[in-house]
Amino acid sequence: MTTGNNIETEYLELSSKNGWPLLYQQIRTESAKFGNSFSEAIKPQNKVLNRYRDVSPFDHTRIVLQKGSSDYINANLVKVEKANRQYILTQGPLPHTISHFWLMVWEQNTKAVLMLNKLVEKKQEKCSQYWPKKVGPEYKMIFDDVGLSLEYLEHQDHSYYMKRVLKLVDVESGNSKEVLQFHYTTWPDFGVPNSPVAFLEFLYKVRAEGALQPDVGPAVVHCSAGIGRSGTFCLVDSCLVLIEKYGLNSVDVKEVLLEMRRYRMGLIQTPEQLKFSYQAIIEGIKHLSQPNTSDKENSNSDVVVVNDNDLYESSSEEDEPPPLPPPRLDSLNRVYDDFPVDRPLPTIPNSTSLTDFAYEENDKVNNQSPPLRPLPTVTPGDEGESSEADEVEEEEEDEDEEETNSLTEEKTENNCVTGNISPEAELRHRQRAERKETLAAKVREMKRRQQANEQWTRLKRSLFKPFVIVGIVSALGGGLLAYFYYKS
């Protein structure tokens, strides 16, 4: 038998050789030899009560309902005698088996339900919501076929799991009981939790509530099929109990799992889940070996998981989410070393492309859109090259812009002093106006000459066309005469 203090050695050896698939296959092969029957599960009236057709409860350990139209539910009582542990492992309820689920909880005197899956995973429903959608008596669920009602009393959000308090009532007798639900929300289907530490903290919280004690009914543990994640939880808990009771030299993980598989088929579905079970047990052994930490039910150190990589420890009695980031204004106004609090944000530089949209001050005041410059005229055959007139126009526009800016600056300066324009400014303005008129005259003359050239070109083309036609006709006529001459 593998001793407890060799669990870590066994784990390292299996990991170094990638022996987890082989060990998992050995467990499957040996458990297949048990030959346990499941005749009730495959009866026609019960097939519709199974979520998966290849996951059936063994006949000798199945939970038998005492009330209602059927005594069948896909659930088994799993016992680990040496650890004095009992668990009810079941599938995630279907819409038409929710009442059967709560009848089982009532009849078995269960104190806590452990839910290890989400309702929807990979866009597929893995479990129907079997508790009220909201807190309050107005959202109470009534199960007439089994004579029960269910009310949602309160909940606590612990970041990676939820704790809910539900009230289950027998309508006929009026008797009621509170049922706890621990919902682990970050355990993926066919996968493992993010951290053995977080998983152990969840386990210790369940233990601290007394949900696994022998003086109450067995805890109901479920995922989607009730074998993979559920089996992992029960295996780790049982092995740690055995180590606590009998010491480090008492546990053979493989044998414990095989014993559990005698009660429900297929417990632990993947080699990765088996490997994680070893990791969690080894981590639990380390905690047990630390002074004053053997009783984890009374531990005040909680792990809050917010993503796949980070763990945040707190010393509060209940898990709390990590603090929110500071408000945006606070982070901008905070003093950092040599930077003053009122340091302004850097000035955004002006884009040179914006100069094409310059406009007058009056337009700014009147909120008018700036006038766009006209595109330059390009004649056919001269694409990409500007004409002389266009260059003069651009020069004129540059002069106008420079004049306007200069005059605006002078106006601003003089108005600030006297409120009037100075004679020197007026003289410069008249000179610029004269230059502007001279340039305009040049532009008009150049355009006139350009138009005359274009007219002359069109005239030459119109005169040249008749001569071309006559030449072509003459050539054709001469050719025909020569042809008939030689033909005769």
Indicate which residues carry an active-site annotation: 223
Q: Tell me how far apart the alpha carbons of residues 25 and 241 are, in angstroms, rounded to a whole number.
A: 26
Phi, psi of 382 (to 5 degrees): -120, 35
Q: Decide if 244 contacts 288 (C-beta within 8 A).
A: yes
Buried b (16+ CB within 10 A) or exposed e, 106-135: bebebbbbbbbbbeebeeeebbeebbbeee
β partners of residue 77? 88
Report strand pairing: 112-115 vs 176-184. parallel
Closest CA to 320 of 305, 341, 309: 305
CA trace torsion 227, 233, 237, 243 (10° rounding): 80
- Element spanning 181, H or E: strand 176-184
Q: Decide if 106 contacts 150 (C-beta within 8 A).
A: no
CB atoms within 10 A of CB 340: 8
DSSP code at position 141: E
Complete DSSP assignment for 404-457: HHHHHHHHHHHHHHTSS--HHHHHHHHHHHHHHHHHHHHHHHHHHHHHHHHHHH
Q: Tell me how far apart the alpha carbons of residues 98 and 133 are, in angstroms, rounded to a whole number.
A: 14
